[in-house]
Amino acid sequence: MKAEADPNLIVYFGGQYMPLGEARVGILTHALHYGTGVFEGIRAHWDEAQQELFVLRPLEHYERWKQNCGILRIVVPPSAEELCEITLELMRRNAFRTDVYVRPLAYKSAERVGVSTDDQDAFAVIALPFGDYLHADKGLHAGVSSWRRIEDNAIPARAKICGAYVNSALASDEARHCGFDEAILLNESGHVAEGATCNIFMARKGKLITPAVTENALEGITRDSVMELAQRELGLQVVERAIDRSELYVCDELFFTGTAVGIAPVVRVDHRPVKDGAIGAITRGVQQLYFDAARGHMQTYLKWLLPVYRSRNTREQDAI
């Protein structure tokens, strides 16, 4: 989905809440020229029945963000808990009653020419109403990209480093020009790494298999949620191992996972149907569990959720 952002949305920028239209960076900003930023993607889901907006695993996202900023030696001063509070405040100031995507961005902010970095860092948190990223209701057609996934010793794929997304953009653009919905990237060893903006899972012989994060894949938080749901709720064995390209052609089920894409079934790969070309039972099971967990329908997974409006009410009551 390509969302046009409303300039009146309230964002957190330069330590203040302000309209998106006023949050501006200079043309010489280091990150704009050299890709020296680290971003995150967090979802919040609106549940109509409970009249509540649930932010999904924000603490884990902010902990990952701060860790990954460390790779570029970018300092984000607030703690992960304080960043969760900023996020809640943003949701409330925007009075969101819909699904939302939160985009934290930290970057090298010096305005000068020269690639070497210094300690001038800045960060922002932007929250936007956001629907489906990929339209995957009937399943996606994925294509193996001619672009290889970036290597850890070039630009670490485990972090959401701005410059690294040139790799995803090239693969994604190629996939769409070739008529695919999404790209699958192989690493330099020829093994499956992940999708352009998502992790990948394959069901084969009753097991759920996903590449290890050492295959040059992002350490996905949805991936982690799916592993827990599949093991605990579906009793499935989840294996992290290398996946050959040709296994994509002989597997039983295939799906992508990610904050933006959610759980997206893949029903064709490189013009070959996955099994019989229909969405499989394991994929449907995982989709349903993830949907329920993310919207506060499952007691066990309330631990993943930060309610936007209820937490304020609870605090207000505590204060009385």
| Catalytic residue numbers, as ranges | 160
CB closer to ligand PLP out of 148 and 312: 148
The site map against ligand PLP for 254-273 (x = CB under 6 A) is ---xxx--------------
Q: In the set 181, 194, 215, 253, which binds ligand PLP (CB under 6 A)?
A: 194
CB closer to ligand PLP out of 36 and 259: 259
By CB under 6 A, the count of residues binding ligand PLP is 14
Q: In the set 29, 172, 197, 210, which binds ligand PLP (CB under 6 A)?
A: 197
SS3 of the chain: the string is CCCCCCCCCEEEECCEEEEHHHCCCCCCEHHHHHCCEEECCEEEEEECCCCEEEEECHHHHHHHHHHHHHHCCCCCCCCHHHHHHHHHHHHHHHCCCCCEEEEEEEEECCECCCCCCCCCEEEEEEEEECCCCCCCCCCEEEEEEEEECCCCCCCCCCCCEHHHHHHHHHHHHHHHHCCCCEEEEECCCCEEEEECCCEEEEEECCEEEECCHHHCCCCCHHHHHHHHHHHHHHCCCEEECCCECCHHHHCCEEEEEECCCEEEEEEEECCEECCCCCCCHHHHHHHHHHHHHHCCCCHHHHHHEEEHHHHHHHHHHHHC
Segment near ligand PLP (CB under 6 A), from 88-96, 220-228, 235-243, 287-295? 220-228
Q: In the set 221, 236, 248, 254, which binds ligand PLP (CB under 6 A)?
A: 221
CB closer to ligand PLP out of 167 and 309: 167
Q: Shortest Cβ distance from residue 108 to ligand PLP (Å)?
A: 20
The site map against ligand PLP for 141-180 (x = CB under 6 A) is ---------------------------x------------
Segment near ligand PLP (CB under 6 A), from 9-17, 102-110, 221-229, 304-312? 221-229
CB closer to ligand PLP out of 220 and 280: 220
Q: Which residues bind ligand PLP (CB under 6 A)?
A: 41, 168, 194, 197-199, 218, 220-223, 257-259
